[in-house]
Amino acid sequence: MGIFSRISDIISANLNDMIENIEDPEKMLRQAVREMETTIDRARESTARTMAGQKMVKSELQKNRRQAKLWAERAQNAVADANDELARKAISRRQEHEKLIVALEDEIAEADATVQRLRRQLSAMQAKLAEAKRRLTTLSARKRVADLRSKVNKVSETTSHKSNAFAKFDRMREKVEMAEAKADAIRELSSESGPNPDLTLETEKQATSAEVEAELAELKKKVKSE
């Protein structure tokens, strides 16, 4: 069932009330605009037919007025010619046209009122259609802005997530680099702390043994020389 069932429904429609509690007001307004346009097209066609009929009635009225005048003149001429029979016929024809004139004038007056009413209704519907189109344009623009804002928020969330991931990676990289630098520092400090104690002791032992052997050799030479 359509939103509008009568022309008066369109004219009296309160668009604010119609879209206030609607889940998709843009869709509803688009449907309303389509129905308004269809109804206006039909009303315009009906008005045009009424106006065309009105013109035909007015044309018929003019014809009967001319005929009434013509038979009135013939009646006068017949009276002037003392032709009563012809005068009676002329008067009768004039009276017939005058009766048609009265009926046509009433019909035209009614048609005029109908045309004026249809014109007012058509104008009111066109104004309501213009209002609906403006409201639809506003809603469509607001919906596009909302959609764009939603997309921007999603992009921001994605960017934020990526930024967090990159930040975590940077922190891990810094920790690895710190560990590597610390290891290098320890090696450097170790190399600067002097020779290995075990190696030093062994060297000292070797030096003492050599001295002993040298002194022993000197003693042997001295004993032989004596």
List, in order, residues 6 or more apart from 32 with CB less than 8 Å away.
Answer: 3, 4, 13, 15, 18, 132
Report the distance separating Cα 44 and Cα 48, nearest Å.
6
Nearest to 43 by CA among 158, 124, 163, 154: 124
The C-alpha angle 36, 42, 47, rounded to 5 degrees, equals: 120
Quickly state the pLDDT bin for 196 (edges 50, 70, 90): low
Angle at 94 between CA 92 and CA 97, to 5 degrees: 110
Q: Is residue 137's pLDDT more than 70?
A: yes
Tell me the C-alpha distance between 164 and 15, whole Å: 47
What is the structure's pLDDT at 191?
63
* Of the candidates 3, 27, 11, 48, the residue with the CA atom closest to the CA atom of residue 124: 11
Query: Helix or strand or coil: residue 72?
Result: helix
- Evaluate if residue 169 carries a pLDDT over 80: no
Q: Is the pLDDT of residue 199 over 60?
A: no
Are the C-beta atoms of 43 and 118 separated by less than 8 Å? yes
57-86 pLDDT, tens digit each = 999 999 999 999 999 999 999 989 888 899
Residue count of the chain, please give it: 226
pLDDT for 28 equals 76
Count CB atoms within 10 A of the CB of residue 75: 21
Helix, coil or strand: residue 194: coil
Q: How confident is the model at residue 9 (pLDDT cuts 50, 70, 90)?
A: low
Mean pLDDT (whole number) for 179-183: 72
pLDDT for 220 equals: 62
**Is the pTM above the cut of 0.85?**
no
Question: Per-residue pLDDT for 206 more than 80?
Answer: no
What pLDDT is recorded for position 91? Answer: 92
Q: pLDDT grade, residue 127 (50/70/90)?
A: confident
Stretch 51-60: mean pLDDT:
92
- Range 5-20 average pLDDT: 63
Alpha carbon of 144 to those of 21, 22, 29, 137: distances in Å? 20, 18, 16, 11
Which region among 6-10, 109-113, 133-137, 146-150 has the lowest average model confidence (pLDDT)? 6-10
- Which residues, including other chains, have CB under 8 Å from residue 133's CB and lie 6 or more apart? 33
Computed over every residue of the chain, the mean pLDDT equals 76
